């Protein structure tokens, strides 16, 4: 099973409470094709641990959102994934 993942992160906030809201936000986008709750939990755990270890962020300040995108809504190499997957062995 192949999963295509995109990560993005923001640490800056223009809010007047910047110190309170200065938190990492990670958005993980994957194709919707059978990822289990356990797998998602592992992704969240490992991203949290990485941000804690590398950036010194507190786990309670880290927000992670996993978006599952339908195959027909994900384009790659000029084709939608639903068409590319049909051609894959």
Selected catalytic residue, list 7, 9, 23, 24: 24
Report the alpha-carbon distance of residue 82 to residue 18 in Å, rounded.
42
Task: Specify whether 24 is catalytic.
Answer: yes
Query: For residues 4-31, b (16+ Cβ closer than 10 Å) or e, as one string?
Result: eeeeeeeeeeeeeeeeeeebbebebbbb
User: Which positions are annotated as active-site residues?
Assistant: 24
């Amino acid at each position: 099973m192949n999963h295509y993942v995109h990560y993005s992160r923001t640490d800056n906030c223009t809010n007047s409470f910047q110190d309170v809201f200065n938190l990492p936000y990670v958005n993980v986008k994957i194709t919707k094709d059978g990822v289990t709750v356990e797998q998602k939990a592992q992704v969240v755990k490992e991203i949290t641990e990485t941000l804690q270890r590398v950036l010194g962020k507190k786990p309670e300040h880290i927000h992670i959102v996993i978006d599952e995108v339908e195959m027909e809504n994900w384009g790659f190499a000029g084709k939608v994934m639903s068409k590319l997957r049909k051609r894959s062995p």
